[in-house]
Structure 1
Amino acid sequence: MSRISTWLITSSIQELITPQNSSSMASRVLVLASILIFSCFAETCYGAISFSSLQRTLVVTASHRQGLLKAGEDKITVRWGLNQSFPAGTDSSYKTIKVQLCYAPISQVDRAWRKTEDHLNKDKTCQFKIVKKPYINVNETLEWTIERDVPTATFFIRAYALDSDDHEVAYGQNTDAQKKTNLFEIQAITGRHVSLDIASVCFSAFSVVSLMGFFFMEKRKARKSQQ
């Protein structure tokens, strides 16, 4: 809740508890109710930040090994910074940087829990935090190990600049506006260990050899009995 809304409500409550006659009390209750409704409406409007209203002022890149990345093992090097083509002072309100791992459209199909919404408080595109730290006006680099709880999907990286109220005011991402370029795939942890796979292969091979040996012995016994 904003400081103004808090002050209005506090002042109204103080007035409400001040001794007064019944008609004055009813009027003050009505005023307080109106203030509460107005405050809630104002908070809703202020808090409903839309992604489409943000300016893309940050440059974000992500580098990693080629091929399918594995959760809990592989690393992604993320770089971000202010696009120097913008005039000086563009980032004057930036206080915090928040970098996130986000689902690409191909991994959002028929998955409402990953759905993209323009209102950021409803948006489910970016669900994995990479880092959140104070903003500084220099290019920064972070090597991030993919966390073990990341599911199998196609992703991209997005960074948000936050103001002093922790609200998004700008962004940048390592893909285009349609989120089709520079995407990468991550494979979730399957729970199977390499040694288990090796043991499974060895057991299968042993079973085949044993079965062949059994048939050979049976065939040999049959020949002896015929003689």
Structure 2
Amino acid sequence: MEFPTVFLFGYLMLSCFAASCFGVTFSSLHKTLIVSASSPLGHVLKAGEDELTINWEFNQTFPPSTDSAYKTLKLKLCYAPESQKDRPWRKTVDNLKKDKTCQHMIAERPYSPSNNSFVWKVDRDIPSAKFFVRAYVFDGQEVVVGYGQNTDRSKTFDLFTIHAITGRHASIDVASVCFSVFSVGSLAGFYYMERRKGKISQHK
């Protein structure tokens, strides 16, 4: 009678060992979280300036015990398929250890099943691209055990665009104009002085 219990325990231990050594596959995860992302500015944001409000909760269609092992939640910014095309450094791979879809960390929080919200000011180093938000939940061994995202599985719905910082600001532009005017004025003054010296030399 004890054999099934021992067998089940061994199977669970083997599964945990395989997950930690070889990595969890995204296709093996259940979408146990409901995630939404919104901004008063709509679906176009500026890096370093605009904010995104992210809400998440446990999907009540799953049994209540489903999230009993959930300990930590990580919110990540992920590239949409359109912004992954011809960019192997953003490639989606089923093995999450090799996956490059979600490279930007938004926040890490202890897991809570409801009433979760986080306002994220878009980081200054985010590149121009189309994105979605994904939440991963981890167990006590830091193994991914579930997820949720603000888009559908094909990642085509409710995407948003982020425009990267160009590196130029109004103050820099004003300084550039002033410097240009000063340079032109200096050149004109130098040309005038040279001509004046030439005329004085001719009169002598």
TM-score range, shorter chain: 0.7 to 0.9
- Cα deviation, residue 204, structure 1: 9.3
**Relative CO higher for 1 or 2, CA cutoff 8 Å, sep ≥ 6?**
2
Choose the corresponding residue for 1:193, options 157, 169, 186: 169
Equivalences, count: 167
Choose the corresponding residue for 2:49, options 73, 81, 96: 73
Spell out, residue by residue over 1:86-144, the C-alpha distance to the aligned partner (whole angstroms, 9 max, x if none). Answer: 22111011011111000000000111110000000000000111111111122300000
- Cα deviation, residue 179, structure 1: 0.2
- Cα deviation, residue 47, structure 1: 3.2
Choose the corresponding residue for 2:32, options 49, 57, 63: 57
Assess, with a 3 A threshold, how the Cα gap between structure 1 residues 44 and 184 changes in structure 2: closer, same or farther.
closer
Residue in structure 2 matched with residue 181 of structure 1 by the alignment: 157
**Larger C-alpha radius of gyration, 1 or 2?**
1
RMSD value, Cα: 2.3
SS in 2 for 1:89: helix
TM-score between both structures, scaled by the size of structure 2: 0.75
Residue in structure 2 matched with residue 135 of structure 1 by the alignment: 111
TM-score between both structures, scaled by the size of structure 1: 0.67
Give structure 1 stretches of 5+ with no counterpart: 1-38, 208-227
Identity of aligned residues (%): 54
Q: Does 1:85 align with 2:61?
A: yes
For residue 107 of structure 1, what is the amino acid of its counterpart?
S
SS in 2 for 1:151: coil
Give structure 2 stretches of 5+ with no counterpart: 1-13, 185-204
Distance 1:171 1:188 in 2: 27
- Cα deviation, residue 198, structure 1: 5.2
Assess, with a 3 A threshold, how the Cα gap between structure 1 residues 159 and 44 changes in structure 2: closer, same or farther.
closer
- Cα deviation, residue 194, structure 1: 1.9
Tell me which moved more, 69-78 or 82-91: 82-91
Alignment of 1:1-227 (within 5 A): 46-64=21-39, 65-197=41-173
1:82 and 1:139 in contact (8 A); partners too: no
Assess, with a 3 A threshold, how the Cα gap between structure 1 residues 98 and 67 changes in structure 2: closer, same or farther.
closer
